[in-house]
Amino acid sequence: LSEQEELRSAIGAKQFFLEYQPQVDVASGRIVGLEALVRWRHPRHGMLPPGQFIPLAEESGLIIPLGLFVLNEACRQAKEWQAMGLPPLTIAVNVSARQFSDPALAAHVTEALEASGLDPQWLELELTESTLMHDVPRALHVMQALKALGVRLSIDDFGTGYSSLAALKTFPFDRLKMDRSFVEALPRDETTVAIASAVISLARRLRLAVVAEGVETDEQLEFLRQAQCHDAQGFYFSRPVGAAEISRILTDAR
């Protein structure tokens, strides 16, 4: 089998599953969101991270059916946690360039929300600047259609693109995910401190919620607290884990 055929049959064979990484409100320490991250339980190679199959899925177009699985499963699971009586959380789903250029995206999102019964306000779609910049008028149109459904939009890996500020100026984001390259060297590196502080205050001025990615240490978290960053995500709180583990974490925190 070619890799592409393998990927195609794996979707049918239900070899994909989601892990979730908590996003924590910095001030209260409460879990307020989860990012869904897809994994492939490969029959011979074991668990494969997305870096090992998302590029091929993008190239081949198989990201469309795979992305549908992710969207549906994330919404279904979020609704299941709510039905368990757990406090509602935002569920964030990554949307790749190819998915974003699919004219059926808004319809797929609508279907996932309807099938699961999840209220749209709890779904967030993570977009990257590169996905949006090559056809700005179309991207604006699609984003407006998605916002009209009531879902939230975030800019992922913020700061790593070529025109991050232009993207902020142009597109109607609700949330900014500060890339982990601006968190890693906090608080010792002066340049990183300057950039991270500026990104957080810029986002606040624009009334965007900010999530710092890749938080691993106490010192980083303390810096973010003082800088009034809203939320944080990273190994400090939890690695991405399966749904059962999330259920345990949320139940214990209740």
Burial class from Cβ neighbours inside 10 Å (0-12, 13-18, 19+) for residue 119 reads middle
- Kindly state whether residue 129 participates in binding Na ion, applying the rule CB under 5 A: no
Which of 113/176 has CB closer to Na ion? 176
End-to-end CA distance of the chain: 47
C-beta separation of 232 from 212 below 8 A: yes
Binding site for ligand G (CB under 6 A): 21, 37-38, 49-51, 54, 67, 70, 94, 96, 156-157, 180, 213-216, 234-235, 240
Which of 40/122 has CB closer to ligand G? 40
How many Cα atoms are found within 13 Å in the side-chain-facing hemisphere of 217? 10
- The residue assigned the tokens 């939320």 is 231
Query: Considering only residues 135-164, where is the footprint of Na ion by CB under 5 A?
Result: 156-157
Which of 8/209 has CB closer to Mn ion? 209
Which of 35/102 has CB closer to Mn ion? 35
Which of 24/38 has CB closer to ligand G? 38
CA distance 136 to 131: 10
CA distance 216 to 225: 14
Closest by CA to 133, choosing from 150, 155, 109, 107, is 155
Main-chain phi, psi angles of 234, to 5 degrees: 160, 175
Look at residue 117 and give the partner it binds from Na ion, ligand G, Mn ion, none, a contact being a CB closer than 5 to 8 Å depending on partner kind: none
Per rule CB under 5 A, count of chain residues that contact Na ion: 2
Query: Considering only residues 202-231, where is the footprint of Mn ion by CB under 5 A?
Result: none
Look at residue 137 and give the partner it binds from Mn ion, Na ion, ligand G, none, a contact being a CB closer than 5 to 8 Å depending on partner kind: none
Q: How far is the CB of 85 from ligand G (least distance, A)?
A: 27
Q: Which member of 156, 208, 220, 250 binds Mn ion (CB under 5 A)? A: 156
Q: How far is the CB of 144 from Mn ion (least distance, A)?
A: 22
CA distance 211 to 109: 23
Query: Considering only residues 113-142, where is the footprint of Mn ion by CB under 5 A?
Result: 126
The DSSP secondary structure of 129-183, one letter per residue, reads HHHHHTTHHHHHHHHHHHHHTT-EEEEEEETSSS-HHHHHHHS--SEEEE-GGGT
Q: How far is the CB of 152 from Mn ion (least distance, A)?
A: 13
Query: Considering only residues 52-71, where is the footprint of Mn ion by CB under 5 A?
Result: none
Contacts of 13 (CB under 8 A, 6+ apart): none
Q: Which residues would be at the binding site for Mn ion (CB under 5 A)? A: 94, 126, 156
Q: Which residues would be at the binding site for Na ion (CB under 5 A)? A: 156-157
